[in-house]
Amino acid sequence: MPTLIHYPLCPFSRAIRLAAAECELKLSLEEKKPWAWAADFLEINPAGTLPLYRDEDGGMLCGSYPISEYLAETGVDETGDARAFSFFPGDEAERGEVRRLVDWFHRKFDSEVTAYLIGEKVIRRFDSAMGGAPNMEMVRAGQANLRYHLGYIGHLTEERTWLGGEHLSFADLAAAAHLSCIDYLGDVPWGEAEEAKQWYARIKSRPSFRSLLADRVPGLKPPDSYADPDF
Amino acid sequence: MPTLIHYPLCPFSRAIRLAAAECELKLSLEEKKPWAWAADFLEINPAGTLPLYRDEDGGMLCGSYPISEYLAETGVDETGDARAFSFFPGDEAERGEVRRLVDWFHRKFDSEVTAYLIGEKVIRRFDSAMGGAPNMEMVRAGQANLRYHLGYIGHLTEERTWLGGEHLSFADLAAAAHLSCIDYLGDVPWGEAEEAKQWYARIKSRPSFRSLLADRVPGLKPPDSYADPDF
């Protein structure tokens, strides 16, 4: 069985966990704290980022981008033995749109929301080198940016079944992975974002989401709504 | 002929220009200033990033990631009519390594070097909303980080012909695209980075690089060494 080296509140790791579950690809999970950069870890991935994917022969892929494209490439068999889940479904234009949105969430949402909130409320809390109390200015910046992104998700779902188009794609999983980390902190103002909430409820109720909802980080309890399908 | 909407000193645009030239794919270039976000541009790409790729039917791809994966997918014909240049050559492990490095340069190098130097010396200079004089603290941070990245390029080329392995790949083009922007500013300390310089000299002498070396941004003259193969 391949192994995913991950951190429970790492959105990039969560996106791969969701995708693997949608593909019915079983992964053994190995936890790694992203702030505890050991020399052996940096030797494998000098960027120090998660997740890492180790296949059964010991081959290693580093980071969300190589792993997702690898799983996408190997997931669809040309003889027609395609997996039920396609990372980038549709024609050229649709695949391009899905990748645009993956980049939106993994780069733009990450730097405007996740990095602030997970950085301040999780990494800073546990990384003794950073000091414990969150910088509330950063937290408020992340929360303000989040409202804009929830609006964008709502806008996309007004005309589409899923974020990238008619089919569930890696764009939905990347977006849900980031939001689920923020939701663990209780920081998503769902009451102000009805369309985004409806889309998230559909993702949250999928079997692929179960393992994320069972995650617990010691010392950091999620709100009850985190694992509740009727949040 | 497809069109690339680009900015001459945008490294993401440059990487696609280099790749298209290696593929012998002719692109019509349309310049767009990344700081002048017009409503019609944001309607196409709400992230406001470059480049955009418009195919002959008007179909649009937004951003380096969708465009590079699209060109990579369409570049190799399954009947064997493969293009001379492969974005992600080799087996799974090699392709994963190339993508790791593309992410390294397009994300890590970009945020640690390019964003500081192009941001302060180009965008701030021309974007009237930002005010003209570069913040020298940011410039020095970018220059310091650049030394680390030059060392990493040197380290990779000690054991490999190209950055990702035995073959020229999109990793080399992404790295060279960022470095060439910094080189236009005269900010690369080549004298301190012999291995990286040798690798860059090999890329710089390729026909695909010519159009980049001919770029001139009005009001910002590159050093003579910029277009000199014996820099």
Q: Give me the tens of pLDDT residue by residue for chain B, a chain 231 residues long.
A: 999 999 999 999 999 999 999 998 999 999 998 888 778 888 889 998 999 999 999 999 999 999 999 999 886 544 556 677 999 999 999 999 999 999 999 999 999 999 999 999 999 988 877 777 899 999 999 999 999 999 999 999 999 999 999 999 999 999 999 999 999 999 999 999 999 999 999 999 999 999 999 999 999 999 999 999 889
Residue B62 with chain A: CB contacts under 8 Å = 96, 100
Instruction: Say whether B92 and A74 touch across the interface (CB within 8 A).
Output: yes
* Number of domains composing chain B: 1
Q: Tens digits of per-residue pLDDT, A131-185?
A: 778 999 999 999 999 999 999 999 999 999 999 999 999 999 999 999 999 999 9
Q: 């710089």: which residue's tokens?
A: B204
Residue B124 lies in a domain: yes
Residue A143 vs residues A139, B19, B200: alpha-carbon distances, Å: 6, 39, 43
Contact by Cβ (8 Å): A29, A215: no
Chains A, B: CB pairs < 8 Å: 73
Residue A78: what pLDDT? 44
Interchain CB contact of A56 with B (< 8 Å): no
Q: Tens digits of per-residue pLDDT, A29-85?
A: 999 988 887 788 888 899 989 999 999 999 999 999 999 999 998 875 445 566 779
Instruction: Say whether B92 and A63 touch across the interface (CB within 8 A).
Output: no
Domain of residue B97, residue span: 92-206
Instruction: Say whether A69 and B99 touch across the interface (CB within 8 A).
Output: yes
Residue B213: what pLDDT? 97
Phi, psi (rounded to 5 degrees) for B76 = -105, 110
Cα angle: B190, vertex B191, B195; to 5 degrees: 65
Peptide bond into A51 cis (omega under 30): yes
Q: 């369309």: which residue's tokens?
A: A195
Residue B104 lies in a domain: yes
Phi, psi (rounded to 5 degrees) for B60 = -125, 135
Residue A56 with chain B: CB contacts under 8 Å = none
Residue A120 lies in a domain: yes
| CATH at B184 | 1.20.1050.10
What one-letter code names the amino acid at B102? V
DSSP state of A120: I
Residue B112 vs residues A88, A101, B119, B144: alpha-carbon distances, Å: 30, 23, 11, 9
Residue B50 with chain A: CB contacts under 8 Å = none
Residue A7 lies in a domain: no
Task: Annotate chain B with DSSP letters as a single string.
Answer: --EEEE-TT-HHHHHHHHHHHHTT---EEEE--TT---HHHHHH-TT--S-EEE-TTS-EEESHHHHHHHHHHHHB-TTS-B-S--SS-SSHHHHHHHHHHHHIIIIIIIIIIIHHHHIIIIIHHH-TTT-SS--HHHHHHHHHHHHHHHHHHHHHHHH-SBTTBSS--HHHHHHHHHHHHHHHTT---GGG-HHHHHHHHHHHTSGGGHHHHT--BTTBPPPGGGG-TT-
CB-based contacts of A229, cutoff 8 Å, min separation 6? A201, A204, A205
Residue A65 lies in a domain: no
Instruction: Say whether A69 and B69 touch across the interface (CB within 8 A).
Output: yes
CA distance B85 to chain A (A): 19
- CA separation for the pair B75, B51 (Å, rounded): 19
